[in-house]
Amino acid sequence: MELDLILFGELVLLGAMLVVLGRALLRPQREPASRIAWMIAILVLPVLGIVAYLLVGEARVSRRRSARYAAIEARLPRPDGDPEAALVLGRGHFHAPFALARAVNGLPPTLFNQASLAAGSNQAMTGMVADIDAAETSVHLCFYIWLADGNGLRLKDALIRAARRGIKVRVLADALGSRLFVRSRHWQDMLRAGVDARLALPVGGLVWTLIRGRVDLRNHRKLLICDNRVAWCGSQNAADPEFRIKRRYAPWVDIMTRWEGPVARHQQFLFASDWMAEGGDDVTALLAPTAHRAPPAASAGGIVAQVIGTGPIQPFPAMTACFAELIHAARHELVITTPYFVPDEQLLFALTSAARRGVKVVLVVPRRNDSRIVAGASRSHYPALLDAGVQLHEFGPGLLHAKTMVADGLAGLIGSANLDRRSFELNFENNLLFADAAFAAQVRARQDEWLALSSPVTPATVAAYSVPRRLWQNLLAMWSPLL
């Protein structure tokens, strides 16, 4: 009898292994490296591998939520673009990145935009609060992390002031990233003041969440849109740069940009899709052509800008494709900053190929990362990058959290997405692709400030890594498709 039970258990385990292996092999939009890593995990550690795959092996959005996103995406009108933008792009060599970006959300490039770069995190918050205080009709906000610190409370107070003077204030905060804030009295203060505040991707019961989807699918976007006319986009959370929950890595060094023009209404499209997916009221009227102010005259020119919103509901790995397309378009120089660098094959090959064809490729990452796993996996790629000619730098004073990419001093990407698999596959992200030499120069100047505070990583630096350290880094890189 005991032998029969053992045999039955082995057959059940074998059957489960075959089913899960089949899912790992048949899952669409998956890299070969990811399939191989999951196959090894399931075969070597069957029970642990099967459980891990069922929990985090697939970027599963619940069936009900997927249907809701699809219905909203189909119903939302796409704001107009500007035909003149195509003419501007046609005069340069960055048409391809914009064409690919349009395929992500159906949002065309816009012209007649003006942008400014905040001097720092505190100054960015001052600017956002000023725009909220000046709002006349609506304030829409979405943040991944919201802390009850100086900047977080300044933002809360501004939203309450706006709601009390009759402005329609709609707020989204990620349920996991902002969990401390949404459980605090400050969240209740906003609700009592008339702020329509909702949780993005609510977790609920852990077991039920794991059954219906993944608990670690998060809304990582950072958005503020006022009056359908002004929009803020960048890497900063609603928090002080001292970032109290991880103060040992502080200061968090971020970048935030303020935009005026038609691109603000395109940012509104992303907020509207998230807002309505969380049960908010219908805001499609804000996307109609008559709902925004007329653009300046054509003679005013302006920045070409295009919104990119990605997430696990996308039918292809959109964000990594957009990054790679801009890298491929670079001809002379490419400067990138990111706090988390865990590239997939497409991105790694794009970077090394650019360096090998003579592009000056500069990559800046933090010296001290708040994730030891990410830091180890990131450094495992240093030898390949250096061998290809990529210039590597590690930022010293704090955690460089800014996500920027500037190509040839003419075009760039800025926003919430990191160069890691979480941003590529699991998070809802918002980035902005732009083409304008003057604004690109501003971002490049900021990148140069960070480079001045960074130390170069040389082949000699990497060669000095101990054998155990290299083994640990390569082990993390090998399993990074599972992370």
Asked which of 149-153, 276-280, 452-456, 476-480 is least confident by mean pLDDT, the reply is 476-480
**pLDDT tier at 291 (50, 70, 90 boundaries)?**
very low
Do 344 and 30 meet the contact criterion of CB atoms below 8 Å apart? no
Sign of CA dihedral 114, 412, 249, 450: negative
Active-site residue numbers?
220, 222, 227, 401, 403, 408
Give me 278's structure tokens: 């969380």
Residue 176 pLDDT > 70, yes or no? yes
Lowest mean pLDDT among 80-84, 104-108, 246-250, 363-367: 80-84
pLDDT for the residue 19: 72
Q: Which of 47-56, 276-285, 427-436 has the lowest mean pLDDT?
A: 47-56
- Model confidence at 208: pLDDT above 80: no
Say what the pLDDT of residue 258 is. Answer: 98
> Residue 204 phi/psi, 5° resolution?
70, -150
* 261 pLDDT above the threshold of 90: yes
| Token pair in block for residue 466 | 């101990």
Q: Residue 49 pLDDT more than 50? A: yes
Whole-structure pTM value = 0.89
Q: What is the arithmetic mean of pLDDT over 281-306?
A: 72
Torsions phi, psi of 376, nearest 5?
Answer: -65, -45
249-269 mean pLDDT: 96
pLDDT at 9: 61
Tell me the β-bridge partners of 433: 306, 413
Residues 188, 192, 193, 196: is their CA dihedral positive or negative? positive
Q: List C-alpha distances in Å: 311 to 178, 231, 278, 316.
A: 19, 20, 15, 10
Q: How confident is the model at residue 298 (pLDDT cuts 50, 70, 90)?
A: very low
- Amino acid identity at 147: L
| Phi/psi of residue 433, nearest 5 degrees | -95, 130
Residue at 287: amino acid letter: L
Mean pLDDT over each residue of the chain, to the nearest integer? 88
Q: Does residue 441 carry a pLDDT above 80?
A: yes
pLDDT at position 21 over 80: no
- The angle subtended at Cα 461 by Cα 458 and Cα 466, nearest 5°, is 150
Distance CA 182, CA 195 (A): 13
pLDDT of res. 44: 72
User: Residue 39 has what pLDDT?
Assistant: 73
Higher pLDDT: 10 or 198? It is 198
Look at 2-6, 101-105, 221-225, 370-374 and tell me which has the smallest mean pLDDT.
2-6
pLDDT of residue 134: 98
Residue 275 pLDDT greater than 80, yes or no: yes
In angstroms, rounded to a whole number, what is the distance separating the alpha carbons of residues 43 and 306?
A: 45
pLDDT for the residue 326 = 98
**In this predicted model, which residue has the larger pLDDT, 245 or 447?**
447
Residue 56 has pLDDT above 70, yes or no: no
